Structure 1
Amino acid sequence: MDAARTCIVCSAALYDTEQQTCRPCTERVAANLLALAGPDGLYARLSASLHPGSRTGGPAVSGSRTAPLPVRLEVLNAMTERGPVLGPLEGWVRDWETYGRADVDETGTLQQRLDHAVGTLRFNLAWAAGQHPAFADFADELHVIVRRCRTATGTEKEPRRIGVTCGCGHTLRVTLDTTRVTCPSCSAQYGHSEALRLPLAERRAA
């Protein structure tokens, strides 16, 4: 009997119509790409979070002997050409270009370059999800990029945890971002899709 095929991103069992990545993981990657681009995207919003106190910080503290930095350096770095946002995305575009599946364009403003990178990656996403040997690495790195931007802009929220019931009866706490979970009671392992398909745990009276 052939071994069960599993998603290379979350280890969930694949349907016959899925090649190497499950549909929920592919959709999550698509949503992360979409969140970065455009005039209202996370990359564009970094500039509004550039100055100290422009995110969610409290009142300025007086009495310091040195003046505060005029900008938040971690945000400034995230906005640069070789920073942790545009740099990796264009790196993946160059990688996909070697497969004939993306077009490198490093001209224009940084925002235009970001939008182009996201656009060409989204256009070829179905191919990459199905065939690129390092798609799991791409999905993981993109997740880190988006989380970094959400943290910098103050839009990162703690994922809502829901209780689901393992086959052994133990309650597991998962989120929509959960990639895999192991039951501490019976050691059963669930990928993203499998975990979200588990029955909801019953609420216990206080």
Structure 2
Amino acid sequence: MNDLPICTCCHRELRNDELRQYACNLCADRIDSHLGAIPRLLARLGEHLERGAAAAGPAVSGSKTAPIPCRIDVLNLRTAAGPVLAPLETWVRDWAEAGYAEIGERGTAAARVAHACGTLRFNLSRAVAEHPAVEEMAGEVASIWRTLSRIVEGETAPRRIAVVCPCQQTLRITLDTRGETCPRCGAEYGHADVLRLPLAERRAAA
């Protein structure tokens, strides 16, 4: 049980109905959404295996040009030992040891990703309430989701904005940052708190 009255993921103060949880309901919903989207995004990676495939147009029979090289980064995401399936199944094994899940590591990599995400979603409410490492899991799942989304949907990296800590240290954050710690004074800010900090003034042009 969480002994602190804050969400370990976004550092927001927990509401009365969340006090026995490690993550607030908003963060739990975000984790669930990411897990639900990952198998669908993975299934679309095949459309992005070839460099420039989206702009290349239909294939022409008898073309004398060399085939478009395969994107190794995309290919790696689809492998069993790659950065999608491996961490997801690591968490399934971790949760299985704690009694939250059942291991099922058979079939294709895509099938195993779907099983892992489904297992983690099914047991998410219990893990949010009982597993002290849910913050770490949430971070890894979000990272996988962002990686796949940027490839499949063409999303760019979140825009960073500069805010100022009361000690005058400038912090560069994104609108979806989970929290920030000031490197100068050590002040810790949750998601809502860091977004309330004043914007840093732009330096006047020389």
Q: Counting helix residues as a fraction of each chain, which structure ranks higher?
A: 2
Relative distance call for 1:29 and 1:55 in structure 2 (3 A) is: farther
| Alpha-carbon distance in structure 1 between the residues aligned to 2:136 and 2:146 | 15
Gaps of 5+ in 1: 58-66, 202-206
How far the C-alpha of 1:6 sits from its partner, in A, is 1.5
Alignment of 1:100-111 (within 5 A): 100-111=99-110
Relative distance call for 1:108 and 1:147 in structure 2 (3 A) is: same
Normalising by structure 2, we get a TM-score of 0.73
1:178 is matched with 177
Q: Residue type matched to 1:33 in 2?
A: L
1:9 is matched with 9
2:29 is matched with 27
Relative distance call for 1:183 and 1:86 in structure 2 (3 A) is: closer
Conservation of the 8 A alpha-carbon contact between 1:11 and 1:180: yes
Relative distance call for 1:182 and 1:82 in structure 2 (3 A) is: closer
Conservation of the 8 A alpha-carbon contact between 1:180 and 1:189: yes
Relative distance call for 1:122 and 1:4 in structure 2 (3 A) is: closer
| Alpha-carbon distance in structure 1 between the residues aligned to 2:81 and 2:105 | 12
1:142 is matched with 141
The list of structure 1 runs, each at least 4 consecutive aligned residues, that deviate by more than 6 angstroms after superposition, is 160-164
Cα RMSD between the aligned structures?
3.5
Conservation of the 8 A alpha-carbon contact between 1:49 and 1:75: yes
Conservation of the 8 A alpha-carbon contact between 1:129 and 1:135: yes
Give CA-to-partner distance per residue, 1:65-106, whole Å, 9 cap, x none: xx6763101111110011000111111111111112112112
| Alpha-carbon distance in structure 1 between the residues aligned to 2:72 and 2:187 | 44
| Alpha-carbon distance in structure 2 between the residues aligned to 1:193 and 1:126 | 23
Conservation of the 8 A alpha-carbon contact between 1:24 and 1:193: no
1:82 is matched with 81
How far the C-alpha of 1:193 sits from its partner, in A, is 4.2
Normalising by structure 1, we get a TM-score of 0.73
Further displaced range: 154-163 or 106-115:
154-163
> Which secondary structure state, in structure 2, belongs to the residue aligned with residue 148 of structure 1?
helix
Conservation of the 8 A alpha-carbon contact between 1:56 and 1:154: no
Conservation of the 8 A alpha-carbon contact between 1:105 and 1:116: yes
Give CA-to-partner distance per residue, 1:28-84, whole Å, 9 cap, x none: 1111111112xxx11111111111113579xxxxxxxxx676310111111001100
Relative distance call for 1:13 and 1:51 in structure 2 (3 A) is: same
How far the C-alpha of 1:108 sits from its partner, in A, is 2.1
Conservation of the 8 A alpha-carbon contact between 2:22 and 2:132: no
Q: Residue type matched to 1:7 in 2?
A: C
| Alpha-carbon distance in structure 2 between the residues aligned to 1:152 and 1:95 | 29
Q: Residue type matched to 1:86 in 2?
A: L
1:132 maps to 2:134: no
Alignment of 1:22-171 (within 5 A): 22-37=24-39, 41-54=40-53, 70-159=69-158
Gaps of 5+ in 2: 57-65, 200-206
> Which secondary structure state, in structure 2, belongs to the residue aligned with residue 17 of structure 1?
helix
Conservation of the 8 A alpha-carbon contact between 2:22 and 2:134: no
Q: Count residues with an aligned counterpart.
A: 190
Q: Residue type matched to 2:22 in 1?
A: Q
Conservation of the 8 A alpha-carbon contact between 2:78 and 2:110: no
> Which secondary structure state, in structure 1, belongs to the residue aligned with residue 27 of structure 2?
helix
